[in-house]
Structure 1
Amino acid sequence: MKKCATAILLLLHMITYAQYDFSGYVGDGTKNTTVYLSLVEDYRKVSKISLSQIIRKTEADSTGFFSFKGDNLPEKNRIYRLHTDGCNTAKETINHLTEECKDSKQILFIANNNDTIYFPLNDINEIFCQINTTNPVTDAILQTQLLKEEMLFDFAEFRSDANRKINTKNWFRQFQDFGFKTNEPLAELFIYDFLSDKRNDTYPYYLKDLSSNDYYKALQLRLEEKYPNEAFTKLYVSEIATDTYSLTLNQNNDEFKWNSVIYFLLFLSIAGNLILLLTLLKIRKKRRSTPFSKLTKQEEKIFTLIQEDKTNKEIASEIFVSVSTVKTHINNLYKKLNVQSREEIKSIKK
């Protein structure tokens, strides 16, 4: 009931004022918990809590409720972070200066100066797990993090190299498709940061994907259209250009190496074919000197059927001749192969 009433008040507030309002709960009965609001302009720094990113802080009241209000944020969407930590006053500054705090609870979200966003506790009183918002892309990063968890579970369940290759390709497409459907390049940048991180297993596939997938160029165009002069757009353009150039250099080096390999393999192939041709000629010559070279096609067929233990009647039926004709062919086989019986024919290895 309390949460519903709060959501209604927030909606009324949104209609009345053109300013941001980020509020929620950090626990029931929590006193003097500090909540920090950060602006994350560098998508390569989304994974760490940094003192340089913090723009405001506030204290939660005795019920655990906190609120940030104002009209001084960028008009366009940006990536923001809310976080609390369990550090005491003496350690808090040190931990933040070293950009680390293991006791932190945080959530990343997308917002702008006109958004009203509410962060309720979930059903088991966990903080920063749910978002109620007026901005349709606010929870895109939260949804991406859920995709990450599904991906990691998928990779952990089957550890074979074959599964990893198939899954990597599938997950790249899932992430890129999800980011594109949000219609928010910032969400796509968050995904790109994860997939192209050199510390992740996805990095080798990212380089491969960059060389063949137009997605990255298309994302650049979307960023330049929506955020033309922002630092994160310039960083992305620079990274894509650098990675593409590095790939080109590697491909040229590989092409030079492969040309040498190809010429060597071509030489081996020609030499191998010549040897094979000579061998076949010898085999053919040898076959011509054997008794089998004297057999007609019909006699060769009857020879095979005899080795399959067929009777004269069965042979006649299979090759569509009379039994007497089969007997004539068999007599010719005896003479040409210098044998006296069917058993001898069966024992011959062709």
Structure 2
Amino acid sequence: MRFFVLISFFLTSSVLIAQYHFSGEVSQTNAGNIIYLSLVEDYRKSSRIYLDQIVKKAQVDSLGHFQFEGNNLPLKNRIYRIHLDGCSDSSEANHFLGQCNNSKSVLFIANNQDTVQFPTSFEDQSLCSIISTNPKSAELLQVEFLKDEMAYDFMEYPSEASRKLNSKKWFTVLQDFGKTSEEPLVELFIYDFLSDKGNETYAYYLKNLSANPYYENLLTRLQSTYPEAGFTQQYTAEIATDKELATFNTPKTWYLKYLLQVALILSLLANVYLLSMQKLNVKIKARSLRNKLTPQEQKIVNRILQEKSNKEIAAELFVSLSTVKTHINNLYKKLEVSSREEIVYLFKK
């Protein structure tokens, strides 16, 4: 599935300075589907789609082409995602935020001055190859390729001895690749994978963190290249916390474990508080937006929340089906959404 291509080419004089242009091709069966551009500032949110990451959306044309362009992105490199929503528009579609079996996405590195293309591969696969003016753009695809090789090694011999040997081998391989890339964002992407609590690598990561100077060196590189970025502060806090956690794998006095439990409880309470505040802000925003709707639009919103189909809404309001569709299109514009599911998410209790 993964097919890695990186070809560097230079911008022509006709391309505006400090203006990005991301374009590509997908299957013509996706004509009319929505495709999204997201900015992934939080490296812990690189594994799936988040609404708060989306910065732009476009529509795939009849030939399968899409493009994003402008001059509003950061001048320094960042991780971006292009995500094709291949889900059905049917109210019966079972998907969350456009993620279903035939959705596709790609992570890449770029900045406000880059031209990046995503051609189909020789196997007619979309979003699997990259041509860019930025030599770092396709590095994340290569990391994914290495992760696939790593998974194969772990599965081939699942013994405890093999797991320890493979952990040591692949930590070295991936970290060396990150350093060779000379792009701390690539290293952060690798770090996110190796230190993920849900991965089998996590136990080895805690041991490696205490003994390996790599993590402190990465912090120095981040502070030098991206001193003001939120992900630099995030990484600083994480390795400090994880180093403390790693010390509990060795014999310590009881009160240190007690302090860890208190810290974990406080962290849980803080997360609960932040989540409640986020939900409150969504409700405040929804209330403000709803007050701007016409009475007829509010009636339609109520029926969308009741999972009524367009035909059912038309019958209940004694209007034509085309009138309902017009009202729904107007709702999308006013609420800045692109699907019924997003309306439900916005106004759910």
Q: Structure 2-normalised TM-score?
A: 0.66
Matched residue, 2:35: 35
Q: Which amino acid aligns with 2:32?
A: N
Cα distance 1:55–1:173, how it changes in 2: closer, same or farther (>3 A)? same
Superposition pairs of residues 1-350 of structure 1, within 5 angstroms? 11-12=11-12, 16-28=16-28, 30-90=30-90, 95-97=95-97, 100-253=99-252
Deviation at 1:248, TM superposition (A): 3.0
The alpha carbon displacement at 1:35 in A equals 1.1
Q: Answer whether contact 2:8 2:132 (CA < 8 A) is retained.
A: no
CA deviation digits over 1:267-291, x for unaligned, max 9? xxxxxxxxxxxxxxxxxxxxxxxxx
Distance apart, 1:190 and its partner CA: 0.3
- One-letter code aligned to 2:62: S
Deviation at 1:55, TM superposition (A): 0.7
Check whether the contact 1:50–1:96 (CA below 8 A) recurs between aligned residues: no
Instruction: Using the TM superposition, give the Cα deviation of residue 12 of structure 1 relative to its aligned residue in structure 2, in angstroms.
Output: 2.6
Query: Partners of 1:69 and 1:88 in 2: how far apart?
Result: 27
Shift in alpha-carbon separation, 1:113–1:251, aligned structure 2, 3 A? same
Distance 1:250 1:171, change over 3 A: closer
Gaps of 5+ in 1: 1-6, 257-350
What do the CA deviations read for 1:191-244 (whole angstroms, capped 9, x no partner)?
Answer: 000000010000000001001000000000111111111111111000000011
Deviation at 1:102, TM superposition (A): 4.0
| Partner SS, residue 219 of structure 1 | helix
Kept after mapping to 1: 8 A contact 2:87/2:99: no
> Does structure 1 conserve the Cα–Cα contact (< 8 Å) formed by 2:22 and 2:68?
yes
Alignment partners' CA distance in 1, 2:93 and 2:227: 35
Contact persistence 1:51–1:96 (CA under 8 A): no
Distance 1:172 1:110 in 2: 22
Structure 1 residues 85, 100: CA separation in 2 closer, same or farther (over 3 Å shift)? closer
CA, structure 1 residues 94+78, in 2 after alignment: closer, same or farther (shift >3 Å)?
Answer: farther
What is the aligned residue count? 249
Moved segments of 4+, more than 6 Å: 7-10
| Contact 1:14–1:116, Cα closer than 8 Å, also in 2 | no
Q: 1:152 to 1:14 in 2, by over 3 A?
A: farther
**Distance of 2:9 and 2:142 partners within structure 1:** 26
Structure with more of its chain in helix, by fraction: 1
Q: In structure 2, what is the Cα distance between the partners aligned to 1:82 and 1:31?
A: 16
State how far apart, in whole Å, the 2-side matches of 1:92 and 1:227 are.
44
Give SS of 2:76's match. coil
Structure 2 contact 36–83 (Cα < 8 Å) conserved:
yes
Deviations 1:281-326, CA, capped at 9 Å, x for gaps? xxxxxxxxxxxxxxxxxxxxxxxxxxxxxxxxxxxxxxxxxxxxxx
Structure 2: which 5+ residue stretches go unaligned? 1-6, 256-349
Q: Distance in 1 between matches of 2:223 and 2:242?
A: 19
Could you tell me whether the CA contact under 8 Å between 1:34 and 1:60 is conserved in 2? yes
For 2:129 and 2:165, the matched residues in 1 are separated by 32
Query: Hey, what's the Cα distance between the residues in 2 that align with 1:187 and 1:101?
Result: 27
**Secondary structure of the equivalent of 1:253?**
coil
The structure whose Rg is larger is: 1
SS at match of 1:89: coil
Shift of 1:31: 1.9
Shift of 1:42: 0.5
Q: Aligned residue for 1:277?
A: none
- 1:142 to partner: Cα distance: 0.6
Shift of 1:101: 3.8
Q: CA deviation at 1:104?
A: 1.8
Cα deviation digits, residues 127-186 of structure 1 (max 9, x gap): 011000111111111100000000011111122211111111000000000000111101
In structure 1, C-alpha distance between the alignment counterparts of 2:22 and 2:219, rounded to whole Å? 30
**2:53 counterpart letter in structure 1:** Q
CA spacing shift, 1:91–1:223, aligned 2, 3 Å: farther
- Deviation (angstroms), 1:85: 2.0
Shift of 1:21: 0.5
Distance, in Å, in 1 between the alignment partners of 2:13 and 2:27 is 23
Return the structure number with greater relative CO, CA threshold 8 A, min gap 6.
2
* Letter of the 1:242 counterpart: T
Maintained 8 Å contact 1:36/1:82: yes
Amino acid at match of 1:43: Y
**Identity rate of aligned residues, in percent?**
50
**SS at 2:186 equivalent:** helix
Distance 1:35 1:10 in 2: 26
**Conserved in 2, the CA contact under 8 Å of 1:49 and 1:96?**
no
2:75 and 2:18 map into 1 onto residues whose CA distance is 11
CA pair 159-135 structure 1, distance change in 2 beyond 3 A: same
- 2:8, 2:133 within 8 Å by CA — same for their partners in 1? no
CA 43–124 in structure 1, closer or farther in 2 if over 3 Å, else same = same
How far residue 86 of structure 1 moved from its aligned partner, in angstroms, is: 1.9
Quick one: distance in 2 between partners of 1:176 and 1:14?
A: 39
Contact 2:30 2:86 in 1 (8 A): no
Q: Judge conservation of contact 1:118–1:131 (CA < 8 Å) in 2.
A: yes
